Amino acid sequence: MSKIKIVGATGCPTGIAHTFMAEEALKKAAEKLGVEIKVETHGQVGVENELTKAEIQEADGVIIAADKDVNAGRFVGKPTIDVSVGQGIKDAENLIQQIIDGKALPYKGNGSSSSSDAAEEESSEGGSGVGRTIYKHLMNGVSHMLPFVVGGGVLIALSFLFGIHSANPDHEQYNEFAAFLNSTGGVAFGLMVPILAAFIAQSIAQRPGMIAGFVGGVIANDGGAGFLGGIAAGFIAGYIVVLLMKLFKSLPQSLEGLKAIFLYPLIGILLTGGAMKIIVGPMTTINEGMMNFLSNFQDSNPILLGLIVGCMSAFDMGGPVNKAAYLTGTALLSDGNFYFMAGVSAACIAPPLIIAFATVFFRKYFNEQERNAGILNFILGSTHITEGAIPFAAKNPLVVIPILMVGSSISAILTYLFNVQVPAPHGGFLVLPVVTNAILWVVAILIGSLVAAFIYGAYKKRSYLKNEVGVEDAA
């Protein structure tokens, strides 16, 4: 009997960690169950290990473990399991078993790969509901936005090495190279909202949606509606273009080119622009109100703010709750508030360091694979990659996640109390030269990480000793 063949596609918003962790989990589970699998990854560098039409055709089933657009229209009619990337990491063996047992339902759609058909796809019963569909569209925008945020933000931060006013030609601190760094980074950073809107719309309505989404994002950005306005613009543009696709579906096939080049862009941009003109005012008010609230909250009660930021950042380590805190910090950076992001960064750096320190100080209570992964977490944590803690949290989330939340909260609270400023949206300790009160920031992160590491280590020790007693009783 020939081996069952499965193909998969993984993708997470950042395209750095979750994507490849899900790929590895699926491959290990397939090997264990004696199944042949090929997994396509949608990382930050693009699509790798791309599936061919023949491989999809020959496959007995498909596993989509993604929180972003992975061109799922290719899998129409194939037995498909469609889950979040996190579930792909935690539950890979069960997902493959469902394919083996024939429990996967055919992915729905009309079988065409055109833009309009892809936009009209519906998820299979094994797939997602409306909430997750919206989340995937949003995360597709976030995924494409992040490189602009990180690249531009770090360049702006580096310009501050020459002085906080080094980009101002009228100030004595002015430096031509610093001004170049600042302006170049500002261009990239300024594209954050239009790119977010464009790729939300692209996820909904493919390429025609992206055009209207980008224009809507520019309107939101110029009007002061910020990233909330960008999110609204992306969804408005995407669904306007989907509506246009349905309205123009009856036109002759010979006019397909006219639709793509003329009708969709023209009418899509017109209607999106009209909608944005109506909502950009209220969205700007909401955006400014949220920023002011958080800024005031930071000054009046940094302990409570640190607790909220710490819990959000460690709750799902790169998931939607974590991203909500991160995107808020990013938006505040563009308004010149460098305090909020300092707490977010500290809270995101802490979880991998908690794991790393625990595996060092309580080495005896971790197996060899865990100890090796723990050492890697020193690198991941130091570079602001929170996802390194996920494999440890997944083994006992009800215990480990609260411990990580404690450590992240302590680090965030101390960061706010120490009045630290971080002008870069990513990079971890690599951006220390541009951090205000950098030593105190490192101290805050280390205190939170060590406290939680010893709590986690004590839990592992207790579990280890309890298991030993059980073995002795059995003997």
Name which residue leads in pLDDT, 302 or 457.
457
DSSP, collapsed to helix, strand or coil, labels residue 396 as: coil
* Residue 295 within any structural domain of the chain: no
The two tokens of residue 390 are 């996920």
pLDDT for 273 beyond 90 = yes
Judgement on whether residues 119 and 152 belong to the same structural domain of the protein? no
How many residues belong to the chain?
A: 475
d(CA 74, CA 7): 12
* Pair (154, 263) in one structural domain: yes
Spatial contact of 105 and 124, defined as CB atoms under 8 Å apart: yes
Average pLDDT on 363-388 reads 81
pLDDT reading at 9 higher than 80: yes
Task: State both tokens at 102.
Answer: 């024939």
Is pLDDT at 127 greater than 60 in this prediction? no
Q: Which of 200, 195, 208, 166 is nearest to 183 (CA)?
A: 166
Tell whether 426 and 340 lie within a shared domain: yes
> What's the pLDDT score for residue 117?
47
Tell me, yes or no, whether 151 and 166 share the same domain: yes
pLDDT of residue 123: 38
Q: What is the mean pLDDT of the chain?
A: 83
Cα-flanking dihedrals φ and ψ of residue 393, to 5°? -65, -35
Same-domain pairing of 93 and 220:
no
Catalytic residue status for 311: no
Cβ atoms of 354 and 458 closer than 8 Å = no
Instruction: Please state, in angstroms and rounded to a whole number, the distance separating the CA atoms of residues 426 and 360.
Output: 26
- Both 95 and 166 in one domain: the answer is no
Which residue shows structure tokens 């809507």?
A: 216
pLDDT at position 122 is 39
SS3 106: strand
Q: Which pLDDT does position 291 carry in this prediction? A: 66
**15-29, 47-61, 382-396: which has the highest mean pLDDT?**
47-61
Is the pLDDT at 13 greater than 50? The verdict is: yes
Helix or strand holding residue 268 (H, E)? helix 264-300
Structure confidence at residue 288 (pLDDT): 73
Tell me the residue type at 64.
Answer: I
* Dihedral (Cα; 242, 248, 254, 257), 10-degree rounding: -40
- Quote the pLDDT of residue 475: 53
Closest CA to 234 of 320, 135, 323: 135
Q: Which residues pair with 66 in a beta bridge?
A: 11
Q: Lowest-pLDDT range, 11-20, 350-359, 452-461?
A: 11-20
Strand order in the sheet with 5-11: 46-48, 36-43, 5-11, 61-66, 79-83, 105-106
Fill in the DSSP letter of residue 51.
P
What's the pLDDT score for residue 256? 74
pLDDT of residue 195 exceeding 80:
yes
Whether 448 and 371 share a structural domain: yes
CA distances, 229 to each of 35, 68, 232 (Å): 46, 20, 5
Residue 375's pLDDT is what? 86
Write phi, then psi, for 37 (nearest 5 degrees): -140, 145
Q: How confident is the model at residue 194 (pLDDT cuts 50, 70, 90)?
A: very high
pLDDT in tens, 206-254: 888 999 999 999 999 888 787 778 889 999 999 999 999 999 888 887 7
Distance CA(331)–CA(225), nearest Å, equals 11
Same domain, 316 and 355: yes
Q: Do 459 and 355 sit in the same domain of this protein?
A: yes
| Each residue's pLDDT tens digit, 279-301 | 988 888 876 776 666 666 666 78
By residue range, what is the domain housing residue 376?
301-474
Give 357's pLDDT tier (boundaries 50, 70, 90). very high
> What pLDDT is attached to residue 160?
74
Mean of the pLDDT values across residues 263-271?
A: 93
Closest C-alpha to 95, from 108, 77, 82, 107: 82
* pLDDT above 60 (res 471): no
CA distance 409 to 307: 5
pLDDT-derived band at 8, boundaries 50, 70, 90: very high
pLDDT over threshold 60, residue 126 = no
Residues 122, 137 within the same domain: no
Residue 244: its pLDDT value, please?
92
Catalytic residue among 12, 204, 218, 271: 12
More confident residue, 66 or 150: 66
Q: How many domains does the chain have?
A: 3
User: For 398-428, how does the pLDDT look when each residue is reduced to its tens digit (9 = 90+)?
Assistant: 888 899 999 999 999 999 999 898 887 777 8
E runs forming strands in 249-370: none
Q: Kindly state whether residues 329 and 240 are assigned to the same domain.
A: no
Residue 296 domain flag: no
End-to-end CA distance of the chain: 42
Distance, CA of 326 to CA of 149 (rounded, Å): 11
How far is CA 378 from its chain centroid? 21
pLDDT of residue 207: 86
- Interval 70-121: pLDDT, tens: 888 888 888 999 888 888 888 899 999 999 888 888 887 433 344 444 444 4
Nearest to 452 by CA among 363, 321, 361, 337: 361
Q: Which residues contact 381 (CB under 8 A, 6 or more apart)?
A: 349, 350, 351, 352, 353, 356, 388, 428, 449
Write the burial class of residue 46 (CB in 10 Å: 0-12 exposed, 13-18 middle, 19+ buried). exposed
Question: What is the structure's pLDDT at 116?
Answer: 45
Tokens matching residue 460: 């592992």
Residues 6+ apart with CB under 8 A from 85: 10, 11, 12, 18, 19, 22, 65, 66, 67
CATH code for the domain of 31 = 3.40.50.2300
Same domain, residue pair 141 and 49: no
Instruction: Give pLDDT, residue 320.
Output: 64
CB atoms within 10 A of CB 363: 12
What is the number of other CB atoms lying within 10 angstroms of the CB of residue 173? Answer: 12
